[in-house]
Structure 1
Amino acid sequence: MRRSSYILLLFFFLLTEVRAQEQLQPYRPYSKERMEQALLQYEAIAKSGCWHTFPDTLLLRPGDSNPLVALLQDNLLLTGDLPLDSASGAFLYTSGISTAVRHFQRRHGLAADGVIGPNTVAALNVLPDKRLEQLRINLTRYDSVFTSEQEPYAIINLPEFVMQVVDSGRTILQMRVIVGKPVVKTYPIHSRLDMVVLSPYWQVPTSIAVKEIVPILRRNPGYLAKKNMVLEQSDGSGWVRINPWEVDWKRITAANFNYRVIQLNGSDNELGVVKFPFPNRLPQYLHDTQAKQLFNYPNRAFSHGCVRLEKPVELAYYLLERGSGYTPEGVRKIWEQGRPNHYVRVKKPVPLHIIYFTSWVDEQLEVHFRDDVYGYDALLGL
């Protein structure tokens, strides 16, 4: 650890400088100024040559003894995850080191269990030079992303799988989100939240209908009724509801599919109790979900492109109270009316920023890194 002492002193100096600068800056969950300071920290770590890597098979739990624990402490001291008074330089994997590992894991979007396993080893084995390049790539995104930060605004960072609503100089609502799989990405966009749909219908995207539902209907046309779905066919001038039992599904392909499948509102609706359409050229929107258990996963790229929200009801109340002048009781009354697919316009729209940052520095001055879930960093050379 003596080799890294001067790096620690530099880090503490930088931390003091960042704190002083932050007092002069407006509140922002993602800050260019903080990123610039993090660059200096990781430049110093990279130049030190003090970073250690570990065998892919390493497994450490509290109470274990291993010579590599001393090297692990070096890394955690350099990154600020391990306080000086918790470092020993010994081989014992103490509870204090486990706490530091959990802190490291949270900063890297990993399950914070305090155990050194394959995912944590993989994060530790990313060299400081790579982290430095990751910070530089993400720093270039600020000018194009944050053209305006007029409050209030909602912001979703895709690799972080988190949404925040910023109002009056603070984050007033934060939630986990589920975003599109790499093959059906959720795309970055600047738009606005100007509509709330209560008890929504779900018009199944054609791609899902053809790939996932038609094969089921070939075996059992009664599937639609079981899922509270209806089938409509285009007659050239509009859509007409038809009986799925009257269709020869064995002849239906992507080329001749002129139907649409709609799931009616209800307890089993895939969109849950509310959705938030917003202006965009793609069929992207925010919505509730039935699959609440998926929010427990660190990596939440599970959807077909839309964004599923952990706290959609709270967002609906916020938008309708702030943006349309409803009282909480007024919002409840609208909801209790039970009108299906009920569109309510938000008279004062809230800007929505869907962004892509795989590294950032939060307001607690902690440097975060995430996997390049959509490969956008790789396109820029990382």
Structure 2
Amino acid sequence: MRLIRQDKSSSSTLLTAKKALVQGAVFASCIVGFNASLLSAKTSAGITQGHSSQHAASLFEPVYLDPNSTQLIEKMKNVISWHRELVNQGGWQNLSLDEVLEFGSKGPAVAALANRLIQGGDLTHTSCIGYSILSQAKAIEPCVFDLNIEQAVKSFQQRHGLSVDGVVGKKTLRELNIPAKKRYAQLLLNFQRMTQFSGLTNEEYVLVNIPEFKLRYINKGNVILKNRVVVGKPSWKTPAFSDQIEKFVVNPTWRIPLSIATREIAPKVADDPDYLAKKNIEIRENSYIDKNIIPADKIDWDEIAPYQFKHFLVKRAGKDNPLGEIKYLFPNVNAIYIHDTPAKNWFKQTKRAASHGCIRMEQPFSLAKAIIEKQGLDVFNDVNQARDSDQTRTFHLKKPVPIHLVYWTAWVDETDTVNFRTDVYNRDKNLHLLESQEPMIAANYSVDQRAVTP
């Protein structure tokens, strides 16, 4: 997993050290509650021995802290405390349903559901309080699935990444029955991830939370933009790392990865010699930008083995290009980028792990527009002209924008809502260790640790 790309200059080294020290202080403040919004030279006394006074002064100058990140950590502390208390009280009850519950349903199962929603904080009041299976024989009105309960179910579904229909079926029931102890452990695990967040000192950045299938553009602590995204399927996982968006390309060509070229496209060309022409794909001889084009009939496609192909497949710009009308580049060893897509139906799905690893964005030009506005770039007309043409055009940002791809399966969002998501890549596999005992989060943590993405 990569660190944020760093120059070899001394200024970059100082910035890295600053970030590490700030993150150490913020982490400590989350545990013991002291105010560490800024580091000063006084704080660093005794740590800077062996450095020149000028070097030390530069190292411990006040560093910007992103309000969005620091508030997130504070909110997580409160949510963790709340869930700890709930676990100590025995957690919430497990539901057993023989039928789907929806608006108008009646009976003890609805009462049990209402009680569970109250325990989880989704329902604040209901006429079902006091109703139980034991009291069913008494002369009381049966509990009714009313508008309040329906709205509470929708709230639960929304913050758990489910289809929001207000109906309690198998998927909603499964999420309702995840024990409070496991949710508590999930919060602890993601709290640890958040305290290592590489964007802590960024004034402007793009955040992609992979399990949430969402992208945010954040500027000076404010969420300027939020967009649905499609991420890599479990067999083509989108990695978590940090980098910088340097440019975006309108009407991009698609440089088809070697894995896709050899494992997926080559067999299709072997079956249909006209496949490449139909799909607007050309074969470039020595590189993706080589102007020398190789005819498809000059290659024995039956002999192409996985990852064994000396040429380069490029899909020309056009309506059927899988990158759509725009892509954002942050050069990285993973060859991951953000792009448009003609497959818009995926954005209607709640689970959107469907790509080969890259990130597809629902409203892709909205990010360019937001960044252009914040950076004061006068390129709106040029971008629109490029969109109206078939020509590929590249636009460089005035200042690279940090981008952080994170893997958070539990967090508190900008509306103060507690969210949980499915562990789509099975990266929470050690969750049982946090369930088994009370973890000491701060153990073995020091300011010498370097910040890596989760």
- What is the TM-score of this pair, normalised by structure 2? 0.74
2:245 corresponds in structure 1 to 193
Distance in 2, matches of 1:211 and 1:353, equals: 30
Quote the offset at 1:208 in angstroms: 1.0
Quote the offset at 1:147 in angstroms: 5.1
Contact 2:207 2:216 survives alignment (8 Å): yes
Distance in 1, matches of 2:365 and 2:152, equals: 35
Quote the offset at 1:41 in angstroms: 1.1
Structure 2 residue 75 is matched with structure 1 residue 34: yes
Deviations 1:11-45 (A, max 9, x none): xxxxxxxxxxxxxx934597011111011111122
2:41 corresponds in structure 1 to none
Shifted more, 155-164 versus 243-252: the winner is: 243-252
- State which of 181, 200, 204 in structure 2 corresponds to 1:152: 204
1:344 corresponds in structure 2 to 395
Distance in 2, matches of 1:374 and 1:67, equals: 37
Contact 2:338 2:358 survives alignment (8 Å): yes
Contact 1:321 1:331 survives alignment (8 Å): no
Quote the offset at 1:304 in angstroms: 0.3
- State which of 101, 125, 131 in structure 1 corresponds to 2:183: 131
Contact 1:199 1:266 survives alignment (8 Å): yes
Structure 2 residue 381 is matched with structure 1 residue 329: yes
Structure 2 counterpart SS, 1:81: coil
1:19 corresponds in structure 2 to none
Distance in 2, matches of 1:283 and 1:32, equals: 31
Contact 2:283 2:295 survives alignment (8 Å): yes
Q: Which runs of 5+ in 2 are unaligned?
A: 1-65, 132-141, 434-454
> Which residue identity lines up with residue 368 of structure 1 in the other structure?
N
Quote the offset at 1:291 in angstroms: 0.5
Shifted more, 165-174 versus 298-307: the winner is: 165-174
Structure 2 counterpart SS, 1:319: helix
Distance in 2, matches of 1:283 and 1:361, equals: 30
Question: Alpha carbons of 1:201 and 1:366: their partners in 2 closer, same or farther (altered >3 Å)?
Answer: same
> Which residue identity lines up with residue 31 of structure 1 in the other structure?
L
Over aligned residue pairs, what C-alpha RMSD do you find? 2.3
Structure 2 counterpart SS, 1:61: coil
1:263 corresponds in structure 2 to 315
Question: Alpha carbons of 1:369 and 1:98: their partners in 2 closer, same or farther (altered >3 Å)?
Answer: same
1:363 corresponds in structure 2 to 414
Contact 1:52 1:72 survives alignment (8 Å): no
Distance in 2, matches of 1:191 and 1:86, equals: 52
1:212 corresponds in structure 2 to 264
Deviations 1:165-192 (A, max 9, x none): 1124421111000000111111111111
Shifted more, 75-84 versus 254-263: the winner is: 254-263
2:440 corresponds in structure 1 to none
Deviations 1:138-167 (A, max 9, x none): 111122114524222110111110001112
Structure 2 residue 303 is matched with structure 1 residue 251: yes
Question: Alpha carbons of 1:65 and 1:323: their partners in 2 closer, same or farther (altered >3 Å)?
Answer: same
> Which residue identity lines up with residue 201 of structure 1 in the other structure?
T
Structure 2 counterpart SS, 1:250: helix
Contact 1:159 1:371 survives alignment (8 Å): yes
Question: Alpha carbons of 1:266 and 1:86: their partners in 2 closer, same or farther (altered >3 Å)?
Answer: farther
Structure 1 counterpart SS, 2:360: strand
> Which residue identity lines up with residue 334 of structure 2 in the other structure?
L
Distance in 1, matches of 2:334 and 2:355, equals: 15
Distance in 1, matches of 2:221 and 2:167, equals: 37
Contact 2:128 2:144 survives alignment (8 Å): no
Quote the offset at 1:331 in angstroms: 3.0
Distance in 2, matches of 1:171 and 1:29, equals: 14
Question: Alpha carbons of 1:309 and 1:238: their partners in 2 closer, same or farther (altered >3 Å)?
Answer: closer
> Which residue identity lines up with residue 77 of structure 1 in the other structure?
I
- State which of 404, 407, 423 in structure 2 corresponds to 1:372: 423
1:11 corresponds in structure 2 to none
Deviations 1:55-104 (A, max 9, x none): 36541111112311111111111222112256554532122211100000
Q: Which runs of 5+ in 1 are unaligned?
A: 1-24
Shifted more, 197-206 versus 326-335: the winner is: 326-335
Quote the offset at 1:46 in angstroms: 1.4
Quote the offset at 1:206 in angstroms: 1.1
Quote the offset at 1:221 in angstroms: 1.6
Contact 1:321 1:328 survives alignment (8 Å): no
1:64 corresponds in structure 2 to 105
Matches within 5 A, 1:183-332: 183-234=235-286, 240-254=292-306, 256-323=308-375, 325-332=377-384
Quote the offset at 1:258 in angstroms: 1.7
Shifted more, 353-362 versus 54-63: the winner is: 54-63
Structure 2 residue 143 is matched with structure 1 residue 91: yes
Larger strand proportion of the pair: 1
2:228 corresponds in structure 1 to 176
Distance in 1, matches of 2:253 and 2:98, equals: 49
Structure 1 counterpart SS, 2:351: coil
- What is the TM-score of this pair, normalised by structure 1? 0.87
Distance in 2, matches of 1:352 and 1:181, equals: 21
Distance in 2, matches of 1:127 and 1:58, equals: 21
Shifted more, 243-252 versus 183-192: the winner is: 243-252
Decide which structure has the larger Cα Rg and report it.
2
User: Aligned pairs, how many?
Assistant: 356
Structure 1 vs Structure 2: percent identity of aligned residues? 36
Shifted more, 95-104 versus 361-370: the winner is: 361-370
